[in-house]
Structure 1
């Protein structure tokens, strides 16, 4: 890893659509300040799939990296010079490192970020797990579970097409994936580890099904927080890992990869994220 001088003027940004809600600028700018990278900037840009190639064409040598959110995590792949095995495993890139020799390397910090967030809460191995949803985040969740779960994972989805996709990802990632319809989603909450990857409000109706002694819930949302399911889970004494935990851990890895400076200041980044979420 090449360490750049703190006085080097470099640019980074998060791209996506919609993007106004993103906390990534808060986290990355906090890291730059703590690391003394006084000439680094990190911004957000509203970019959809159609505009992405043009954005890449305008990148110059001042750019060090990009964070990508939906809907760009797969759309960016054809534009890259290289993609890491982790990103390739789920066909999803959330991090682009732009090297000094002009190459663009796509990676995925969501997967190790999920694992780190679980480890931080003491979840290192479980016998079974459940995943709510079947989008891009769900495939990253399966990749993380390939390191955490020793037995089968049940995915609760809304269509047979989505079910087939999740089974396919399981085969690719070496995870035994079973699928069930969304009408049975309440069953998921009995698993020792539940990962909710669905949009805001989707799991609200499941709150009455939270068991008396819940295991661990990993809800990837961070705004609004807590979700109704996370609040009900906590009220029953269950452990909850939130979307901010994931956002911080994946951002830590992005900062280290883009700047070449490590370790990134995780405590300061988390505090800044919490303050921003609460309007501070």
Structure 2
């Protein structure tokens, strides 16, 4: 990344991660550039592990104005940054690096993705969510928990194989939410029936065989390929609506686009491009 390969490109952005070849972020951002006639902007993929991130970003020439960061680099991005937004610091990871006059600013727009998907699921009425059931306690669960607490959800239960209460409770308790963690041996059906929403942050294989127990509330499943997931099928069979991870992906990309470019994201064009790629 020592210099522009195409002299017509003045501004570069890219997604960093490993593996990265299947990332749909280039589809979203490139569609935004086309929609706004930003012909001198380019968005690419760069294979990058966590330990490589400081070198790759630090060596990026001035044409690079921002990076989207996917796993496994989200914790490394937070540590590398010269400046960190409050929400990225509270969540404990970053999916966005933006070049500033003082270096690189880290942010986490995954919470914008979660909130946008929940708004679509509940027609903008997030006050309907009083109790949430979150499946998984890993990296994607962190912005999900933070976003649910920000939305005023009063009771949040996390289902996970190990007890990570000490790590995850601080994401919700400062905002007044009751928090508890349970294992997969809990009465999942009773928890699901009591929930106003289920947010699944795990691969479908992680809950294989438990979909019937869990499919008793509206669902945000962060998986979008293949679609629909078995959890979504189970919830639909019981009459519950759902949204997939592509809605989350689009909404987190909108905010990244705006931070990278300083322009309002052309949301309809970006989402249309993503949905066409999934078909």
TM (normalized to structure 2)? 0.90
State the Cα deviation string for residues 62-110 of structure 1 (Å, max 9, x = none): 11100001111111222211000111111110011113x3521111111
Cα offset for 1:166?
2.5
Change (3 A) 1:132 1:257: same
Is 1:198 the counterpart of 2:202? The answer is yes
Counterpart for residue 4 of structure 2: none
- In the TM superposition, residue 215 of structure 1 has moved relative to its aligned partner by 2.9
Out of 154, 158, 172, the position equivalent to 1:155 is: 158
**Matched residues in 1 for 2:32 and 2:249: separation?**
13
| C-alpha displacement of 1:146 | 1.0
User: Any idea what the Cα deviations from partners look like across 1:15-45, whole Å, max 9, x if unmatched?
Assistant: 0111111110000000100011101100011
- Say whether 1:69 aligns with 2:70: yes
2:119 is aligned with 1:112 = no
* Misfit runs of 4+, over 6 Å: none
For the residues of structure 1 that align with 2:222 and 2:273, how far apart are their CA atoms?
18
The residue correspondences of 1:128-277 to structure 2 (distance < 5 A) are 128-160=131-163, 162-171=164-173, 174-184=176-186, 185-190=188-193, 191-210=195-214, 214-262=216-264, 264-277=265-278
Unaligned ranges ≥5, structure 2: 1-7
Q: Aligned partners of 1:10, 1:143: CA distance in 2, in Å?
A: 32
Instruction: Give 3-state SS (helix, strand or coil) of 1:75's partner.
Output: helix
SS of equivalent to 2:185: helix
Instruction: Measure the CA separation in 1 of the matches of 2:175 and 2:91.
Output: 8
Alpha carbons 1:156, 1:188 under 8 Å: kept: no
- Per-residue CA deviation, residues 100-135 of structure 1 (Å, 9 max, x unaligned), is x35211111111221122112324121111110001
* Residues 36/73 of structure 1: CA separation in 2 closer, same or farther (3 Å cut): same
Structure 1 stretches lacking a partner, 5+ long: 1-6
Root mean square deviation of aligned Cα:
1.8
Tell me, yes or no, if the aligned pair for 1:134 and 1:163 is still in contact at 8 Å.
no
Whole-angstrom distance in 2 between the partners of 1:221 and 1:187:
24
Distance 1:20 1:8, change over 3 A: closer
Instruction: Report the number of matched residues.
Output: 267
